[in-house]
Amino acid sequence: MRIFRSLLPVTAALSLALTGTALAGTGHGQDPARPDGFRAACAAARPGHLRCFALYRPQTAVNEAIAGGVASRPFGWTARQLEQAYRLPVSQLSDQTVAISIAFNTPRLAQYLAKYRQTFGLPPCTVASGCFRVVNQNGNPNPKKLPHSGVDSGWDLEVTLDVSMVSAACPHCKILVVEANNTTYRSLARTDDTAARLGAEVISNSYGGRENGFAQAFAPDYDHPGHTIVVAAGDLGFTAANFPANLSTVTAVGGTELARARNARGWRERTWLDPFAGASGSGCSVYVRKPAWQHDPNCPGRTVADVSAVASDIPIYNKAYGGWITVEGTSVAAPLVAGIYGLAGNASVIPLGYAYSHRRSLFDITKGSNSLFYPSKLTCGNDYLCVARKGYDAPTGLGTPDGTGAF
């Protein structure tokens, strides 16, 4: 507790600096590329609004080759490689529905999803087959009742990423996209209510904002017993906790970097940190009390995150952004974990905090820090709140999926 209190001024300053400058996007085609070429897909949120977390960089050479008639595959981790890295039994059938909470309508989303699934050898998931559905925030599927187009808003890229990652983790899950009219807390919260009402066992949210008292008024919308709600932890590194990832009714997901390795697993991971773009979010809530299933010592409230998954080097397809693009951020990790919940098939019956009693089914991540601007020892005293270590740590939670046993 002493460590957390001493860091409040530092983390508050870092959060304001990050949200106000370095990581504030202004939408597709407007946010300047950082030195590594990545841009924030969504604009910095206005008061009362939330922002998506996706970061992207066009695969220019690949797209130019394809445009020139040369066969070229996108680079980055494929669906098959993600399956191998996390030992996912993707061939097993699942009757689960994974919902995506998102803002605005993406008119060509079904086509982008089909392109991703076809490229990486996944079975089709179409409107005609009943596998893929899109509704508005009230649950109406009438195309004339859907929100206005979000093309070039960044939210269209976010939802493309979300449905692609759910597909990679659970090729046989059904996908329900629930589109909010706008990016306000109220509209996005309503999409979770609607997803639960329509029977989605899992609900994925890859957006957020710094926790505050106004946001907490919408906490009940992310509390649906019998439904597992997954939320991206955010991309600002160690700072104030994000809403709705700070809620104890959700699974908060951090990010890692995945690489091949000569070990028994064949892979290694460390905390996701891109010094030019972002880092796996972690924080100690000052609004939400510590849930009974969480026992870390230096945060008196709810600690973010719970688990993690890959957050970099992922290819997806969206023509409005040039075709194939590389994405990164906890916007990758959250829908991937949501898909794994769908694959496990237990999302409607497992209790909150289920992963905490099933740590053996997770790969413990012990390397890396999520400190963006300062050495980790100055940011959090080399503490688990911003440095990966054996056992639980805030940047990567309990670890990454080793099969579906923790879900």
Distance CA 33, CA 30 (A): 9
pLDDT band per the 50, 70, 90 thresholds, residue 275 = confident
Closest listed residue to residue 281, CA positions, set 218, 216, 331: 331
| 3-state helix, strand and coil shares in percent for the chain, rounded to the nearest 5 | 30, 25, 45
Percent of the chain with pLDDT strictly greater than 70: 90
The answer, yes or no, to whether residue 3 has pLDDT greater than 50, is no
pLDDT value, residue 24: 34
Distance CA 251, CA 297 (A): 19
Give me the residues paired with residue 148 across strands. Answer: none
pLDDT value, residue 18: 39
Distance CA 226, CA 202 (A): 9
pLDDT value, residue 36: 78
pLDDT value, residue 276: 85
pLDDT value, residue 357: 97
Distance CA 363, CA 374 (A): 27
The answer, yes or no, to whether residue 322 has pLDDT greater than 60, is yes
Q: Tell me if residue 271 falls in helix, strand or coil.
A: strand
* Region of residue 104 (left: phi > 0; alpha: psi -120 to 50; beta: else): left
pTM above 0.85, yes or no: yes
pLDDT value, residue 277: 87
Distance CA 407, CA 396 (A): 16
Distance CA 137, CA 134 (A): 10
Instruction: For strands 251-260 and 267-271, give the pairing.
Output: antiparallel
Express each pLDDT in 139-170 by its tens digit.
999 999 999 999 999 999 999 999 999 999 99
CATH code, 180: 3.40.50.200
**Which of 117-121, 379-383, 397-401 has the lowest average pLDDT?**
379-383
Distance CA 200, CA 296 (A): 31
Q: Tell me if residue 299 falls in helix, strand or coil.
A: coil
User: What separation, in Å, do the N-terminal and C-terminal C-alpha atoms of the chain show?
Assistant: 30
pLDDT value, residue 4: 43
For residue 407, tell me if it sits in a domain.
no
Average pLDDT over residues 84-107: 96
The answer, yes or no, to whether residue 221 has pLDDT greater than 50, is yes
Distance CA 278, CA 389 (A): 20
DSSP 8-state code for residue 351: P
Express each pLDDT in 225-261 by its tens digit.
999 999 999 999 999 999 999 999 999 999 999 999 9
pLDDT band per the 50, 70, 90 thresholds, residue 7 = very low
The answer, yes or no, to whether residue 199 has pLDDT greater than 50, is yes
Angle formed at CA 8 by CA 355 and CA 241, multiple of 5 degrees: 35
Express each pLDDT in 333-351 by its tens digit.
999 999 999 999 999 999 9
For residue 406, tell me if it sits in a domain.
no
Distance CA 224, CA 302 (A): 18
Cβ neighbours for 170, distance < 8 A, ≥ 6 positions apart:
90, 94, 96, 98, 339, 340, 342, 343
Closest listed residue to residue 27, CA positions, set 373, 349, 377, 321: 321
Average pLDDT over residues 193-217: 97
Express each pLDDT in 279-297 by its tens digit.
999 999 999 999 999 999 9
Closest listed residue to residue 152, CA positions, set 111, 119, 105, 186: 105
Average pLDDT over residues 293-322: 97
The answer, yes or no, to whether residue 11 has pLDDT greater than 90, is no
Mean confidence (pLDDT) of the chain: 92
Closest listed residue to residue 13, CA positions, set 303, 216, 214, 236: 236
Angle formed at CA 29 by CA 35 and CA 311, multiple of 5 degrees: 55
Percent of the chain with pLDDT strictly greater than 90: 86
The answer, yes or no, to whether residue 19 has pLDDT greater than 80, is no
Angle formed at CA 325 by CA 128 and CA 116, multiple of 5 degrees: 25
| DSSP of 32-92 | PP-TTS-EESSBPPPTTB-EE--EEEE-HHHHHHHHTT---PPPS--HHHHHHHTT--TTS
pLDDT value, residue 364: 98
For residue 249, tell me if it sits in a domain.
yes
pLDDT value, residue 14: 39
pLDDT value, residue 21: 33
The answer, yes or no, to whether residue 124 has pLDDT greater than 50, is yes
Average pLDDT over residues 316-335: 98
For residue 153, tell me if it sits in a domain.
yes
pLDDT value, residue 377: 56
**Segments forming the whole domain that contains residue 93:** 2-401
The answer, yes or no, to whether residue 31 has pLDDT greater than 60, is yes
Closest listed residue to residue 347, CA positions, set 194, 170, 221, 171: 170
Cβ neighbours for 184, distance < 8 A, ≥ 6 positions apart:
48, 49, 50
pLDDT band per the 50, 70, 90 thresholds, residue 32 = low
The answer, yes or no, to whether residue 372 has pLDDT greater than 70, is yes
158 phi and psi angles, rounded to 5 deg: -60, -45
Alpha carbon of residue 389 to chain centroid: 22
Distance CA 244, CA 357 (A): 23
Q: Tell me if residue 237 falls in helix, strand or coil.
A: strand
Give the CA distances from residue 198 to residues 137, 138, 178, in Å, rounded to whole numbers and listed in that order.
11, 10, 10
pLDDT band per the 50, 70, 90 thresholds, residue 92 = confident
Number of domains in the chain: 1
